[in-house]
Amino acid sequence: MSSLTTRRAALRSLALLGAGALARPSAWSAPVAPPKHPHPMRLAFIGVGGQGTTNLRSLTGHHFVAFADVDEALAAPVYRDFPDVPRFRDFRRLLDAHAGALDGVVVSTPDHSHHPIARAVMQAGLNVYVEKPLATTIGECRDLAAAARRHGVRTQLGVQGHHNGALRVLREWLDAGAIGPVRTVHLWTDRMQPVRYTAAEALAPGETPPATLDWDLWLADRPTRPYSPLYVPGRWRNWWDFGTGPLGDIGAHMFDVVEFALEAGFPDLVEAETPWRNAFTAPPWSRVRWDFPSRGTRPPLVVHWCNGTRDGAFVRPATVPHLPAELIASSTNGMAFVGDDATAFIPDMRASSTPRIFPPEREADVLARRPARTLPRPKGTHFDDWFNAIRDGREAGANFDYGAALTEVVLLGQLAQRTGQPIRWDRAAMRAINNPEADALIHPSRRANASA
């Protein structure tokens, strides 16, 4: 691929540039200067507030070419600390001005704008990293995966736990039969917490947007509606037009663990229980069940999800085989892989730590006869995996083919939440059997001439 050859040459020349070309803040809070990366990349960031700030500051030492954000107030701390980096409100102007000088683009905008932005970035021939979830509909996810293949670019979904060494340990232990065949998985999270939750059965009352926010650009390709502080900043995830609720937020991380460890694939049936449903906002709590068929020697799998707050208490599994009740009660995020002989437990959303095995005597036996290390351990960060994929012309671990399939499974749960009906999934036809309401949500209407 000639474009990759050209980029490799550009990267080699960039590596020879002096330290003065590296992006660094004017007033860095750390006591030492930010590190220089041995192989700096030329990056643009679309969305620099919130998660964008976290991503950007983790990459100081690379070359920051340009920023884009529709909310100047949210972006202000980054703009203050990096005053020499060109900035734009409209990401398209950034691409027009700087596409030829970029090795990759990091997209950290609200969920609803992932699809139009990532699609435009790839059409410009650029590699792209997008925060989870990949998009808000199954149709959008498949479109982005197809676009990545069509344009031959290197992509990565922001499921950072995909790069964790502990995830490899979990897979090795399950493959070795440390807990017996796994037939059930329990996932739970406290999201949405009451303070973050906005219950509504209609659009929020309109107000005049602040001068620092381009509201039409923020809406991207979604239907026009008046601005409200109940959408921005931070509460957009609760609204179906903009976010995907806790399933898109935390479920994307947890199902990454399930898929990597068990190769679950796609479910035949998804069902959900919620206190109510409406066309506007996610419910304050839910229980969702995915039924997966057998895969090779792996038996059929049932995945249970719990989230949110009900009557002032977090919704969690009532019981999990082998797990102490106090352990379930004390975990705001938890993943339990239930085998025929024991249960592997991870007290977070990304397999950030080596799994515990219950009962304790089973764990002692596993540790004494530790399963063989069969999977290579990743080096560096999730971003480094993407950067290396760009340099080497290979696929990153959570590329859009993987990310689209992962997000599709998560969004099937959301369809069950939204419709209140079982989702019997025909993946080849991309439709929910006998559920026209769900089918309509797979390809919803979008603004034809939206600002973004």
pLDDT, residue 9, reads 36
Give residue 369's pLDDT: 93
Q: What is the pLDDT of residue 37?
A: 72
Tokens standing for residue 164: 């964790």
The list of the chain residues with pLDDT below 50 reads: 1-22, 24-35, 451-452
Tokens of 213: 């926010």
pLDDT digits (tens, 9 = 90+) for 362-393: 999 999 999 999 999 999 999 999 999 999 99
Q: Does the model's pTM come out above 0.85?
A: yes
Q: Which domains does the chain have, with CATH numbers?
A: 2-161+383-400 (3.40.50.720), 164-197+240-375+408-432 (3.30.360.10)
b/e code 383-421 from CB counts within 10 Å (16+ = b): bbbbbbbbbeeebbbbbbebbbbbbbbbbbbbbbbbbeb
Residues 371 and 52: their CA atoms lie apart, in Å, by 39
Q: Give me the pLDDT at residue 305, please.
A: 98
d(CA 254, CA 303): 11
Write down the pLDDT at residue 28: 37
- Give the whole-angstrom CA distance, residue 87 versus residue 23: 14
Helices (H), 82-132: 91-98, 114-123
Tell me, what's the pLDDT at 178? 97
